[in-house]
Structures are given as structure tokens and as C-alpha cells.
Amino acid sequence: MFVVGTAGHVDHGKSTLVKALTGIDPDRWEEEQRRQMTIDLGFAWLTLPGGRRVSVVDVPGHERFIKNMLAGVGGLDAALLIIAADESLMPQTREHLAILDLLDVRHGVVVLTKADLVDAEWLALVREEVTSELAGTSLADAPLVAVSARTGAGLDQLRQTLEQVLQSLPPRAKADGIPRLPVDRSFTIGGFGTVVTGTLRDGSLRVGDEVVVLPSGLTGRIRGLQIHYDKVEAVAPGTRIAVNLAGIHHSEVKRGDVLVPPGTLQPTRLIDLHLRVLPDAPGPLEQNCSLDLFTGASEVPCRLTLLDTEQLAPGSSGWAQVRLEAPVVVVRDDHCILRIASPSRTVAGGMVVDPFPVRHRRFRTEVIAALETLARGDPAELVLQTLGTDPPRPWDEVARAVGLPDEQMRSLVSDLVASGRVLTIPALHIGEKAAPFADVLLVTPAGWQVLATRLVPPMRAYHTRFPLRQGMPREELRQKLRLAPRLIGGIVDEAIRCQIVAADETSVWLVGHDPQLAAHQQRAVETTLAAMRRTPYSPPLPDLDPEVLAWVVQQQMLVRIAPDLYLLPETYAELVNWVLTMLQAEGSLTVGQLRDHFGSTRRYALALLEHLDERKLTRRVGERRELA
């Protein structure tokens, strides 16, 4: 199945030719038929002599309806550039040709219509003029055929020529990609509900598939599929289709929306483009100028950030970032058209290089270098480029940024991992259910090095500030590194594997960090412990700096039984042992008995028993303790 679109100046005979070729009047609306003028897109189809089936999109030629024309020329395999022989090239012939060139439509036939109105000499002149106009455009090699829709002359030759052109088309790219349907019409048919039409790009759809309408995010299901009024179960990319949708009202989906399977493409408001300004643009494109961007079947106002120049002169090209007023759905290598509103003119075309860029600073050589690599487009390079030296990024986010389908991404990443150019790190799920593969983070060795280097200074600073603490709390480290919660676990694990850090459940420390007391602290500890040994059952409160005290407890040189009460470990063991033995023998025990037996104080005896209650070794029954 092929999709061919018409192009050409108003009244040059596009609709008449489509009707002559297909037997279908593409001017559907009463107003179009009355005024003999195409206002909106028309659709027809034919089978060529060799059996090829072709959908035809007929576009309006009048300058006022150029927006409708642009909604119809996405995803064309070939164009029929239609030029009335009696008038030859006219303004919209040139504009449509420029648009086809900017969209990189490289295949087509130039049809000189109304040949019955001119003589052979005139026709030869027109041929010459048209050929020279085509030179240097994407249609420079397109064959020319003269026809008359009125007499039928030349129509057979046109069919044959079209057949030859379609025969020579290269295989369609990205047939295994993510399917998307830019919607060019949405209406309702009694008894069926919502129907949308468009040219399917990149992948396939089946009856029963779930779909999401972007940018709104509404979901529905494909109830039926049709190609030229024939019901089908599945459709291949590059086909004009009508989709009957369940679960979505026709007012909820409009021209410019895009249908995709759930969890695949996302809308974007920021795009990196390689721009080409038309040689006959009325002036240069200035930094931050306002334009209208057309892509798929959508039209959105935008502003342009020129990344490597102050202005782009007519005929020149360069890098730009567009900020869109509303989200669009694009993938890498998509083409778009840029127009100025007044005077209403097509001024430039762009190719999408990065559909999910960060905001760039202007005049950065590294930004331009990255865009150039992206434009060259080797998928492995793309993944590496996208990862750059960033901290680990979730798999699905990278897949989306490079626009590769899961399957391809999976094999690509396993190659990159095998050759050591990418590291994978498992992520921790926090909150919502993760998308497929989202549990794996990707990072380049260089990106890992950057992160590992960033990991060290905050930890070193922490060790300097708290030399006696074993490690830095994980959460504090995460915040210092500004990492998402789900990243920290995998990153610490990888850092442990690389022997940069060691960690327990709550804290992380640099390998080699060994908390040791300074000499004066050591002396203070010895003095304190000696004093406590003198009255071990009611020892004085340790007179130590809180950090030193925490270290002493961590080293198990003291046991903390209440927020400010401590016992020597041997005393603690003796007391616990006595309590448990007593309870086994006697069944119960009071605070007073414990105090009196050891000549302790009520404060210590009570604290110890409460501590044992907390450890679930004892329990309190009235004024007595029993075994828990």
C-alpha cells in the first residue's frame, strides 16, 4: 500500500485529475463542489495496472488553506506535483514544491495538466521552465508527464509512470518502530461512534489494541480498522486508515492529535531541530522569533532559539531549539515545516534531532557537537550520546529519548553492556508501578566516573565533620547528590562493587574510613570508664563529648539503657543475668529488690527493668516484673 499526495496551485486541476485517475471525487463537501475549490483534504484510491494499491490525498491549492495542505502531506511515499500547462508555475506551485522539498519527499511525478489547452510549442516551454525550477529540489529527478483530464490524454502514461516511481521506492524505514497515527480527521458515524483517519507511521495496529490519544492522554480501544472502506484486522505502516475507536468521543480527538499504544511515545514542548531556511524566505530568521510549526497533522505556535548564530539568512541552515506553545508528538528524523503568520509564508523546514532535549545554552560547541552526532544517527552512538556523562538514567527514559522500540533497545543495550560501553544498575522502585525495563538504570563508564567523583567529596566532608561516626546516612547522601530516591540504592551498590564505599542498611562510608579517637579523647574515655568501674551499679553519668560517647557506645564499651544512663558492658551482663535467673526461680521481681541486691539506685534499677521490658525480655505486671 502506498500513499501519494497531490500538490500544486489553486485551480490547476488537482481534484479533477484525482477523479479522472480514481473515479472518486475527492471534494467531499457541498461547498467544495459548489465553489469548485478544494478547502480541506480529500481522499481517494486506485489500483495501478501492475496491481499496486495507492491511497491518494488531495490537498487544497489555495493559499488560504495551506494549513489543511500541510496536515495532509505527512507520511507521503510520493507526490503528484500538478501544474496547469496553460499557466505554468504559480506562487503555490512554488510553495508546495518548497514544502515537499523541506519534508524531503524525494519521489513523485510532475503532471502538466490541461494539456488540451496549449499547443506543443507552449508545452515544451513549460516543460523547460518546470525542469529548471525543480533543479536542486528533492523532486529534481521526478519524471514529467503531460495529461488532459478532460480528454483523457496521457492518463495511462501517468499511471505507468507512477507505477515505475513506486516500484523504485526504497524499503520503508522503521517498519518495526512504534506505531503512531497523526489524526487528520475525526468524525462520528451513526452506529459506529468515533472514527479517525490518518496515515499510519512506523509500526502496525490491530483490532482490539489499546491506544492513547496524545497529547490529552485519553485512552480507548480499536474497535475496527478500515482501508478504503474494506474492513481489516491489522494495518501495516505507511497505510491510510480509518480507525473506529471505542471509549473516546469524537469531540475528544481532533486533527493534530496522535494515536499511539500506551506507554510508548510522549508529547514534548521542546525540540532540537536542524533547520533549513528557504532561499526565497522574506528575510532572515532572527533569534527568538515567533513561528508556526507544522508536523504530522498538527500546527503549534513556537519560538526559536538559534543555537549557533544570531540569525539564519535565507538559503542557510543551522541548529535550533524550538519552544512550543502546546505539546506535539514527534520522533527523531521527523520533518516539520515552519511558517510565519504575516505575511503568511513558509520560511523553513526542520528535521527533529532530539525530541526530548534539555534547554540548551546558546553558542556552546559541545551542544553543537552532540547535535551533530545525533543527526548522524547510529543507534549505538545515539544511546551513548544521550547518556553522555549524566548520572544513571532509567532505561525507559533513554529509550524514549532516542526513539527506539523496546526490542531494538534491548539488543542494543546488551551489546553495549557486553562491550563495556554502558553499565546497567538496578533501580529501586518507589511509589507507582514501574514501566517495563524501568527497573534498570543505564550509565556510561564516563558518567559513572563523574558520579563516583561527585560521591567522594560530600562523604569526605562528612567524615571530617564527624570523624567518630561510621558513615553518612544514605538519605543525606542522596540529597547532597540530588538524586531521585530510586537511584540511590543501585548507585551505592555499584560504588561498593567498585570498592569506593562500604555501607550498612542506614549509612555509607568511604572505604578506609576508620573512626578513631584522638589522644585527648582517648584519655577522657579512660578516665570516665575508670570512674564508672568504681561504682558500677550506680555509675556517674559519663562526662564525654556526645560524638565521643556515641562512638564509645558503637564500640560496645558502654551500654545505653536510657537516653542518658549508661552501664559498663560487664555490669550490664551481670544485672541482666541476675534478673532473668531471679525471674525463672521466683516468678517475679520488684524495682526495690533489684536496687537492694546490688546497692544500686532506684533510677538505675527502674531504667534497667524498663529497658528489659523494651527488649521484650520482661514485662510489667502492676509493681512487679515477670518474664515476658
Ligand X SMILES: Nc1nc2c(ncn2[C@@H]2O[C@H](COP(=O)(O)OP(=O)(O)OP(=O)(O)O)[C@@H](O)[C@H]2O)c(=O)[nH]1
Other C-beta atoms lying within 10 Å of the C-beta of residue 533: 12
Q: Does 444 bind ligand X (CB under 6 A)?
A: no
* Interface with ligand X in residues 321-360 (CB under 6 A): none
- How far apart (Å, rounded) are the C-alpha atoms in residues 273 and 583? 81
Q: Does 274 bind ligand X (CB under 6 A)?
A: no
Closest separation in Å from C-beta 87 to ligand X: 10
DSSP 251: G
Other C-beta atoms lying within 10 Å of the C-beta of residue 610: 16
Grid cell in block for residue 78:
510520493
Q: Does 116 bind ligand X (CB under 6 A)?
A: yes
Q: Which residues contact 577 (CB under 8 A, 6 or more apart)?
A: none
Q: Does 114 bind ligand X (CB under 6 A)?
A: yes
Closest separation in Å from C-beta 4 to ligand X: 15
Of 162 and 227, CB closest to ligand X: 162
Of 6 and 444, CB closest to ligand X: 6
Of 35 and 53, CB closest to ligand X: 35
Other C-beta atoms lying within 10 Å of the C-beta of residue 27: 23
Q: Does 60 bind ligand X (CB under 6 A)?
A: yes
Stretch that binds ligand X, among 33-41, 120-128, 204-212, 288-296 (CB under 6 A): 33-41
User: Is 297 within 8 Å of 198 (Cβ atoms)?
Assistant: yes
β-strand pairing of 501-503 with 285-286: unpaired
Binding mask 70-109 for ligand X (x = CB under 6 A): ----------------------------------------
Closest separation in Å from C-beta 15 to ligand X: 3
Of 118 and 374, CB closest to ligand X: 118
Q: Which residues contact 530 (CB under 8 A, 6 or more apart)?
A: none
Of 36 and 479, CB closest to ligand X: 36
Stretch that binds ligand X, among 5-13, 130-138, 449-457, 518-526 (CB under 6 A): 5-13
# chain residues binding ligand X, by CB under 6 A: 21
Task: Tell me which of 1, 3, 21, 38 binds ligand X, using CB under 6 A.
Answer: 38
Terminal CA-CA length for the chain: 80
- Residue 523: phi and psi, rounded to 5, are -65, -45
Q: Does 68 bind ligand X (CB under 6 A)?
A: no
Q: Measured on CA atoms in the order 521, 524, 530, 535, is the torsion positive or negative? A: negative
Closest CA to 99 of 321, 345, 308: 345
User: Is 515 within 8 Å of 539 (Cβ atoms)?
Assistant: no
DSSP 468: T
Of 93 and 600, CB closest to ligand X: 93
Of 156 and 526, CB closest to ligand X: 156
Binding mask 127-166 for ligand X (x = CB under 6 A): ---------------------xxx----------------
Q: Does 22 bind ligand X (CB under 6 A)?
A: no
Q: Does 513 bind ligand X (CB under 6 A)?
A: no
Where do we find the cell 520482661? 618
Task: Tell me which of 12, 201, 255, 463 binds ligand X, using CB under 6 A.
Answer: 12
Of 62 and 362, CB closest to ligand X: 62
Grid cell in block for residue 267:
508529547
* Interface with ligand X in residues 178-237 (CB under 6 A): none
User: Is 327 within 8 Å of 267 (Cβ atoms)?
Assistant: yes
- Cα distances (Å, whole numbers) of residue 300 to 256, 258, 277, 326: 9, 14, 19, 6
- Cα distances (Å, whole numbers) of residue 510 to 14, 455, 489: 74, 9, 16
Task: Tell me which of 5, 13, 447, 490 binds ligand X, using CB under 6 A.
Answer: 13
- Cα distances (Å, whole numbers) of residue 610 to 257, 434, 536, 616: 67, 45, 19, 10
Stretch that binds ligand X, among 10-18, 127-135, 310-318, 548-556 (CB under 6 A): 10-18
Applying CB under 6 A, the residues found at the interface with ligand X are 8, 10-16, 36-38, 60-62, 113-114, 116-117, 148-150
